[in-house]
Amino acid sequence: MFMWNRIGFGVFVATAALAQAQSPESQSSIKVNLPPDAPVSLLSADMGESRAAERGGALVLHLNTALVLRNSGSRRIRGITWMVQSQEVTPGGRASVTKASLDVAPGETFPVRVDLRLLRPLTRAGGSMVEMSLDGVLFDDLTFYGPNRLDSRRVMLAFEMEAQRERRHFFHVYQSQGAEGLRREVIASIDRQGAPRLDVQLARGRATAASGEREVQFAFLRFPEAPVEPVSGMAFVSGAEARAPRVEVSNRSSRPVRYLELSWLVKDGRGHEFLAGTVPSKAILAPGQKLEVLEQSSLRFQDSKGAPVPVESMTGFVSQVEFSDGAVWIPNRGSLTDARLQRALAPSAEEQRLTSVYRKKGLNALVDELKRLSAR
């Protein structure tokens, strides 16, 4: 048992030019690093209910921080990522916060919440308790600013492409089917958002074989426009657990690939399918080359009440590709209309945001939002 203490943070901003001249601050501070040419500026930071507690040989930090930023550049901001760290080399000492689907004009302000738990060694002396550094900003023309140490450019670019895809879809429905057609599409999306989802627990590292496990071959959903095609795959399955999934893929495009994500669906004994997880791979894949993507982990599936969900079969599909030139591919909306994906995939963050506009403000407000965004 241990006692929580409220963290008394003193906030300051350190630019790259002043960082070396800055004297070490006390451990009761959070340091926000912004380079001199950053396209955002910090207006305020509220530490809220941030707390710290000793546990064993570490200090557990619960951050509950609200930043208010201004777009100090000349382009509209679509996304922003911060790296938050209490200790770079300690497990649990670094995390990130990404805010996507923004539409912040030059001069406008916007909030960013940081709700995280970090670990920090008790023996560390001097310096700030927590440092926040800008890792990247994505603009409306899809250009990027920042060091990109967390691969945030790819993450935010995929988010923004997904958001543009959803806006185009709903605006097309409105143009082709009118307001009532848009209402029907939104209600169908809201119904999908209420569908039950699996709770997937991931255990990384080499998983040991379980008694009675069997080898399950993957089936695949193949999208005609996908630059990378799954060829074969399998996982070892025992009851509600699948371990060591592996999939062979082929680059059928004319460009080298440097990152891809494979997602898969799991079917239970009652015939219900759920989105089960994603296997990322940063391996270089030349045009025409095949590669086996491995994941040394195990996945355990349970329903919303905590009951295990036995695995009967698995189906994989390519969900994201990044080329060596930085371009990103995601499935188009037509591919995602597959009946199995419609039942299993949760609507995207942007689709949920648009349906939230409908829920809170009504159909006319949603139409106005789609018109405003499509005009840009």
3-state class (DSSP) for residue 362: coil
Give per-residue burial for 317-344: e unless 16+ CB within 10 Å, then b.
bbbbbbbeeeebbbbeeebbeeeebeeb
CA–CA dist 8, 2 (Å, integer): 19
Give residue for tokens 């371990």: 243
| Token digits of residue 273 | 């399918």
- The per-residue pLDDT string of the chain (376 residues; one tens digit each, 9 = 90 and over) reads 333 333 444 444 444 433 333 333 333 467 889 999 999 999 998 877 777 777 777 778 888 889 999 999 999 999 999 999 887 666 778 899 999 989 999 999 999 999 988 887 776 555 677 889 999 999 999 999 999 999 999 999 999 999 999 999 999 999 999 999 999 999 999 988 877 776 666 566 555 666 678 999 989 998 999 999 999 989 899 888 888 888 899 999 999 999 999 888 888 888 888 887 777 889 899 999 999 887 777 778 887 777 888 888 888 899 999 999 999 999 999 888 887 787 778 788 899 999 999 999 999 999 999 999 887 7
CA triple 282-288-291, angle to 5 deg: 40
Could you tell me which residues come within 8 angstroms of residue 226 by beta carbon, excluding any fewer than 6 positions away?
A: 318, 321, 329, 331, 335
Contact between 226 and 261 (Cβ < 8 Å) = no
pTM of the model: 0.84
DSSP tag of 170: H
CA–CA dist 72, 285 (Å, integer): 39
DSSP tag of 83: E
Q: Closest Cα partner for 318 from 268, 256, 252?
A: 252
DSSP tag of 255: S
Residue 19: its H or E element? none
3-state class (DSSP) for residue 106: coil
3-state class (DSSP) for residue 349: helix
Give residue for tokens 């008394």: 8
Domains of the chain, each with CATH number or no CATH: 5-150 (no CATH), 157-194+349-374 (no CATH), 199-344 (2.60.40)
Contact between 138 and 160 (Cβ < 8 Å) = yes
Q: Closest Cα partner for 333 from 157, 193, 169?
A: 169
CA–CA dist 70, 210 (Å, integer): 53
HEC readout, 268-336: ECCCCEEEEEEEEECCCECCCCEEEEECCEEEEEECCCCCECCEEEEEEEEEEEEECCCCEECCCCCHH
